């Protein structure tokens, strides 16, 4: 928990979003904005300097991602616009910028080589796929008509299957990589977040209290549960209505799903099985009330919040199975 370095970024922006990304060479990238505009900053990995500063016009970059293409691209988006710029070491090559306000970028494909957009484009509503890297001549390689969705209720797997809740019908639909519908089920009123299990076999959705799992291949319901049924009375769990705030449940590669929850005033991580919907384990209590949760591949979770006006971070290990 010792501070390694501190960056003074006040001259670039008033507010910085929670998303942090790294270039292929390990340089941190952050996004911020103020009344003067927005900023994308590449930070020194060994010191406290800003190595590259770029202001992409009126876009307020909220959703950041690094592509796996050659050259790698930094992709940014909010709900009204999107863009990309090539990354060269610790420099952003602004001569390669692609920016549009015609449609808004929603998510990156799990293959790291595609991006999926949703909105109004040429007076048509639907989901668009664009191949990476983006260029000024990029055209959509796929169009799925009629589904208006949001980034927090949409997922794309490594096979390029698309899963999304369409607002007009409140149905969760699945399409194959060619845009052919695989299945459609009623999303009911509980679908305010949607994600995939780590093995991409299960579509998970819910709100802070009720959760459901569908077979990703058939759409068949695998299980339904609630926070109280899985973890006990007086338990509520957080979810996000923003793609840049990672409060979605976190899927681990052992088939578990971690929620940031509160119980009788104490905050902890509760872990559910994606295969059965049953409780698996939980963490001990955090020392503060976190707003956000992230994790690494070693089953460590990191809670973020504030205490007395200072940023607070606490790490918990889920390797030791504290059973519910």
What's the CA gap between 192 and 132, in Å, rounded?
29
What's residue 44's pLDDT? 94
Res 307 pLDDT > 90:
no
Res 80 pLDDT > 80:
no
What's the CA gap between 270 and 31, in Å, rounded?
31
pLDDT in tens, 270-291: 999 999 999 998 888 999 888 7
pLDDT in tens, 137-194: 888 888 888 888 877 788 999 999 999 998 878 899 999 999 999 999 987 767 888 8
- Greater pLDDT, 131 or 105: 131
What's residue 229's pLDDT? 93
Residue 38: both structure tokens together: 């927005």
- Greater pLDDT, 79 or 210: 210
Question: Between the CA of residue 296 and those of 54, 129, 230, 300, 317, what are the distances in Å?
Answer: 29, 29, 24, 6, 10
Average pLDDT, the chain: 83
pLDDT in tens, 31-70: 887 777 788 899 999 888 999 988 876 566 667 788 888 8
| Start-end of H helices in 8-167 | none
What's residue 200's pLDDT? 94
What's residue 323's pLDDT? 43
What's residue 219's pLDDT? 97
Res 75 pLDDT > 50:
yes
- Spatial neighbors of 40 by CB under 8 A, at least 6 apart, are 29, 30, 31, 53, 54, 55, 56, 61, 74, 76, 85, 92
Residue 258: both structure tokens together: 């971690």
Q: What is the mean pLDDT of residues 14-42?
A: 83
Establish how many alpha carbons lie within 13 A of residue 110's alpha carbon, considering only the half-sphere containing its beta carbon: 17
What's the CA gap between 65 and 63, in Å, rounded?
7
Res 324 pLDDT > 50:
no
What's the CA gap between 164 and 244, in Å, rounded?
18
């Amino acid at each position: 928990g010792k501070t390694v370095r501190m960056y003074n970024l006040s001259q670039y922006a008033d507010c910085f979003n929670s998303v942090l990304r790294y270039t292929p060479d390990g340089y941190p990238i952050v996004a911020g904005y103020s009344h003067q505009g927005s900023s994308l900053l590449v930070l020194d990995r060994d010191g406290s300097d800003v190595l590259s500063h770029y202001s992409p016009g009126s876009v307020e970059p909220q959703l950041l991602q690094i592509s796996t293409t050659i050259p790698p691209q930094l992709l940014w988006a909010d709900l009204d616009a999107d863009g990309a710029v090539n990354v060269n070491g610790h420099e952003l090559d602004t001569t390669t910028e692609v920016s549009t306000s015609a449609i808004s970028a929603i998510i990156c494909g799990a293959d790291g080589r595609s991006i999926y957009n949703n909105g109004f484009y040429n007076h048509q509503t639907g989901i668009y796929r664009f191949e990476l890297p983006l260029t000024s001549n990029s055209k959509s390689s796929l169009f799925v008509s009629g589904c208006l969705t949001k980034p927090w209720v949409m997922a794309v797997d490594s096979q390029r299957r698309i899963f999304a809740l369409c607002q007009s019908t409140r149905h969760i639909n699945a399409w194959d990589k060619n845009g052919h519908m695989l299945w459609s089920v009623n999303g009911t009123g509980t679908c305010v977040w949607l994600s995939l299990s780590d093995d991409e076999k299960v579509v998970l959705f819910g709100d802070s209290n009720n959760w459901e799992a569908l077979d990703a291949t058939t759409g068949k319901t695998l299980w339904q549960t609630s926070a109280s049924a899985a973890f006990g009375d007086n338990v509520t769990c957080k979810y996000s209505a923003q793609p840049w705030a990672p409060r979605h449940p976190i899927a681990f590669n052992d088939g578990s799903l971690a929620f940031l929850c509160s119980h009788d005033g104490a905050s902890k991580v509760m872990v559910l099985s994606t295969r059965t919907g049953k409780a698996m384990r939980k963490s001990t209590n955090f020392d503060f009330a976190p707003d956000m949760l992230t994790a690494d591949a070693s089953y460590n979770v990191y809670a973020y919040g504030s205490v007395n006006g200072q940023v607070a971070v606490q790490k918990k290990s889920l390797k030791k199975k504290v059973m519910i």
